[in-house]
Amino acid sequence: MHESLIKYINSYTSTPLADSEIELIKNTFVHKKIRKRQYFLQEGQVCKFSAFIVKGAMRQYTVDDKGAEHIVRLLIENWLAVDRESFVMLSPSIYNIDAWEDTEVLIITKPDSMDLFNQIPVLTEWRQHLDELHAFAAEKRLSASISFSAEKRYSDFASAYPEFLQRFPQHMIASYLGITKETLSRVRHQAAKK
Amino acid sequence: MHESLIKYINSYTSTPLADSEIELIKNTFVHKKIRKRQYFLQEGQVCKFSAFIVKGAMRQYTVDDKGAEHIVRLLIENWLAVDRESFVMLSPSIYNIDAWEDTEVLIITKPDSMDLFNQIPVLTEWRQHLDELHAFAAEKRLSASISFSAEKRYSDFASAYPEFLQRFPQHMIASYLGITKETLSRVRHQAAKK
DNA sequence: TGGTTCCGTTATCATTTGTCAATAGATTTT
DNA sequence: AAAATCTATTGACAAATGATAACGGAACCA
Nearest residue (Cα to C1') for D20?
A182
Q: Closest chain A residue to B135 measured between Cα atoms?
A: A135
Q: Which residue among B64, B141, B175 places its CB closest to the CB of A142?
A: B141
Q: Which residues of A touch B85 (CB under 8 A)?
A: 135-136, 139
Q: Is the confidence at residue A194, as pLDDT, over 60?
A: no
Q: Is the confidence at residue A193, as pLDDT, over 70?
A: no
Question: Which positions 144-163 on chain A have a beta carbon less than 7 angstroms from any atom of strand D?
Answer: 149-151
pLDDT at residue B67, rounded to an integer: 84
Which residues are CB-contacts of B102 (< 8 A; sequence separation ≥ 6)?
B33, B34, B35, B36, B56
Nearest Cα to B80, choosing from B120, B133, B116? B133
B184 touches strand D (CB under 7 A): yes
Residue-wise pLDDT tens digits, A111-137: 999 999 999 999 999 999 999 999 999
A71 touches strand C (CB under 7 A): no
Which residues are CB-contacts of B80 (< 8 A; sequence separation ≥ 6)?
B50, B51, B52, B53, B130
Through-space separation of residue A161 CA and nucleotide C16 C1' in angstroms: 30
This prediction's pTM: 0.93
Interface of B with A in 70-109 (CB under 8 A): 70-72, 84-85, 88
Cβ(B83)–Cβ(B60) under 8 Å? yes
Q: Which pLDDT tens digits describe chain B residue by residue (194 residues)?
A: 799 999 999 999 999 999 999 999 999 999 999 999 999 999 999 999 999 999 999 999 999 888 899 999 999 999 999 999 999 999 999 999 999 999 999 999 999 999 999 999 999 999 999 999 999 999 999 999 999 999 999 999 999 999 999 999 999 999 999 999 999 999 999 887 65
Residue-wise pLDDT tens digits, A62-79: 998 888 999 999 999 999
Q: Closest chain A residue to B143 measured between Cα atoms?
A: A72
Contact A142 B143 (CB under 8 A): no
